[in-house]
């Protein structure tokens, strides 16, 4: 039997978990947490709490000084974490300290990875990370660095935009693993009052060329919205609304995740 804490098992955890969820027809709840927000201790408690509350995957965001893809909520959380001394290496310390059995995805811009050294992917795996998403590294933009990440020990989650042509959707999916993150709308992250009317058609186009599980994010902020997305996709990503709840208290964030889990289970 493979030791579930062994490096090879940790690296496979995200892919295996997503396939298990698909086989059981359970919709994945993917939760985003900014590492070091509101502080280190709260981050550890938050990761542990939302894992217990029903998160299937946790994205651990690496604070960055120029988060161009993020809206005001996540930008503010990132700045607060940076002001508190959070770095990529300390993000990995949070992952290791949390020690959850839920797959962790390192959510980062490219620069912090490059600054951290060539062994950052190995160190991430050893800290308990099983996947990685690089927000500013689209398919084909930098083949050498894509090969470095894609050839490493972590599942490489790729982003697809709603305006992406079908042929490019297929190319993106073929260069990814774990799951595909479908951005529900153009623009930056942040809670929205409604979902795009063309989201069902976008999911259908992607599903036609993608064998990986599809998780939808950007703007999903309520249990009702999460339930609606669950009828379309394999999973739901919730970020800004959860970060806002964590700003108030860990307990409120955990309760919010429980409400999302209940909504998905009732979909």
Positions marked catalytic: 59, 70
How far CA 147 is from CA of 61, 152, 175, 192, 251, in Å, comes to 22, 8, 10, 35, 40
If DSSP codes are grouped into helix, strand and coil, which group holds residue 41? Answer: helix
Are residues 139 and 171 in contact, defined by beta-carbon separation less than 8 angstroms? yes
CA 232, 226, 57, 121 torsion-angle sign: positive
Nearest one of 58, 42, 55, 121 to 88, comparing CA atoms: 121
- How far apart are the C-alpha atoms of 50 and 261, rounded to whole Å? 10
If DSSP codes are grouped into helix, strand and coil, which group holds residue 231? Answer: coil
- How far apart are the C-alpha atoms of 158 and 79, rounded to whole Å? 25
- How far apart are the C-alpha atoms of 237 and 133, rounded to whole Å? 13
If DSSP codes are grouped into helix, strand and coil, which group holds residue 29? Answer: strand
What is the 3-state composition of the chain as percent helix, strand, coil, each rounded to the nearest 5?
50, 15, 35
Nearest one of 128, 130, 91, 132 to 110, comparing CA atoms: 132
């Amino acid at each position: 039997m493979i030791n579930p804490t062994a490096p090879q098992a940790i690296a496979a955890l995200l892919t295996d978990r997503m396939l298990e969820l698909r086989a059981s027809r359970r919709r994945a709840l993917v939760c985003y947490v900014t590492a070091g927000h509101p502080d280190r201790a709260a981050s550890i408690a938050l990761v542990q709490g939302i894992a217990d509350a029903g998160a299937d995957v946790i994205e651990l965001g690496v604070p960055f000084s120029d988060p161009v893809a993020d809206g005001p909520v996540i930008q503010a959380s990132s700045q607060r974490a940076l002001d508190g001394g959070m770095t990529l290496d300390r993000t990995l310390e949070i992952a290791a300290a949390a020690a959850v059995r839920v797959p962790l995805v390192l959510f980062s811009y490219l620069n912090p990875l490059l600054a951290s050294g060539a062994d950052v992917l190995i160190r991430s795996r050893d800290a308990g990370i099983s996947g990685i998403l690089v927000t500013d590294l689209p398919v084909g933009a930098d083949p050498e660095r894509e090969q470095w990440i894609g050839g490493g020990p972590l599942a490489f989650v790729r982003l697809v935009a709603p305006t992406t042509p079908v042929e490019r959707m297929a190319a993106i999916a073929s260069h990814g693993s774990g799951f595909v993150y479908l951005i529900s709308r153009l623009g930056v992250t942040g809670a929205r009052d409604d979902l795009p009317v063309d989201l069902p058609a976008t999911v259908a186009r992607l599903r036609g060329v993608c064998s990986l599980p599809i998780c939808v994010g950007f703007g999903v902020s309520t249990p009702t919205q999460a339930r609606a997305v669950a009828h379309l996709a394999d999973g739901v990503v919730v970020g800004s609304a959860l970060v806002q709840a964590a700003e108030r208290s860990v307990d409120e964030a955990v309760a919010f995740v429980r409400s999302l889990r209940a909504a998905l289970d009732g979909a």
